[in-house]
Chain A
Amino acid sequence: MKQFVVIGLGRFGASIAKALSSKKIDVLAIDRDETRVREMEGVVGQTVVLDATDEKALRELGVADFDTAIISMGETIEDSIMITLSLKELGVREVIVKAQNEIHAKILKKVGADRIVFPERDIAERLAESLASTKIFDFIELSDAHSIVEMVVPKKLTDRTLGQAKLREKYAVSVIAIKRKVPYAKADGATDFRDEIRIGPGGNDEIIAGDVLIIMGKNEDLAKVQKI
């Protein structure tokens, strides 16, 4: 199970920490404000009062061992930039940062943020949803209402053709590609996988267990597909 560290426990940080924790995910919640930290005690797995702009303190806390860090610093743009830089330098694999505006987002990307979120889009719940789901590999927002998701095919849809799965008819979403791990025997006799991608699959293309579907559609329709 992935481990998350949430830095900054304002409204957004606290809601995402709570949402992840409610999905039984390990969360470490950090803020320099003791009152905010105290409010999260018992709500998430671990809490720490700490100034996250202090790189040494972050290193000593062992944040490098976390898979994903979510930075939500409301007060100053500089703090979230500094912390993003520190976390990437410490080796945190995925750093997600709340941006105040487009310029802030651009700087965050330049210093290595892996994903930028805007609080006004009320994304906390949806982000928690996609992070908690083992089915979802990736998630690209096309607009406020439309996205592309990369998900492992649900069991109910396997061993049939794309036409028989009727995703377009039932859920109004389009499968734009199918990614498949194809096993093959190497020269030394060992087995390995190679990735095959079928772009623009047709109704006669088969879906098998383990396939990853890349699907485009309205967010509400994609959410329904994820629940199949």
Chain B
Amino acid sequence: MSDFKDLIEIGEFYILSQKFDEALKALKKAERMKKNEARLYFDMGMAYEGLNDYEQAREAYRAALTIDDEHKEAREHLDRLIEQ
């Protein structure tokens, strides 16, 4: 049984490997363990953005910013997606 941090790292590895569906599987598993982590939702946003699912990506970046309103990258990605 992987712990939360492992799942996040697995998710990030899959994002870098362009396996966005796999990344989401790991990240959703992580979400079931802990919900108040901005990094988790930022990573989810990245995976959805990689899949060109901008609606879900925006939602995930917003969730990251709700937890940490100073998350610079989530803000940047969200701003960029709103402009599209």
A15 to B: closest C-beta gap in Å: 26
B48 to A: closest C-beta gap in Å: 9
Would B73 and A209 count as touching, CB distance under 8 A? no
Would B12 and A181 count as touching, CB distance under 8 A? no
Give chain B residues whose Cβ lies under 8 Å from the Cβ of A180.
18
Would B15 and A183 count as touching, CB distance under 8 A? yes
A183 to B: closest C-beta gap in Å: 5
Task: Tell which of B12, B16, B51, B55 touches A209, judged by Cβ atoms closer than 8 Å.
Answer: B51
Measured CA separation A152–B52 after assembly (Å): 7
Question: What per-residue 1/0 map shows which CB atoms of B11-26 lie under 8 Å from chain A?
Answer: 0100110111100000
Residue of A at shortest CB range from B48? Answer: A210
With contact pairs A190-B73, A191-B16, A210-B20 given, residues A181 and B50 touching in the complex (Cβ less than 8 Å): yes
B26 to A: closest C-beta gap in Å: 15
In residues 176-224 of chain A, which contact B (Cβ within 8 Å)? 180-185, 190-193, 208-210, 212
A1 on interface, CB distance cutoff 8 Å: yes
A116 to B: closest C-beta gap in Å: 22
Would B46 and A183 count as touching, CB distance under 8 A? yes
Count, chain B residues at interface, CB 8 A: 15
Would A181 and B49 count as touching, CB distance under 8 A? yes
Task: Tell which of B15, B20, B46, B55 touches A134, judged by Cβ atoms closer than 8 Å.
Answer: B55
A110 to B: closest C-beta gap in Å: 24
Residue of A at shortest CB range from B77? Answer: A192
Residue of B at shortest CB range from A208? Answer: B18
Give chain B residues whose Cβ lies under 8 Å from the Cβ of A208.
18-19
Would B21 and A209 count as touching, CB distance under 8 A? yes
B78 to A: closest C-beta gap in Å: 13
Would A193 and B73 count as touching, CB distance under 8 A? no
Show 7 residue pairs from A and B whose CB-CB distance is below 8 angstroms, ordered by the A residue.
A181-B49, A183-B46, A193-B49, A209-B19, A209-B20, A209-B50, A210-B18
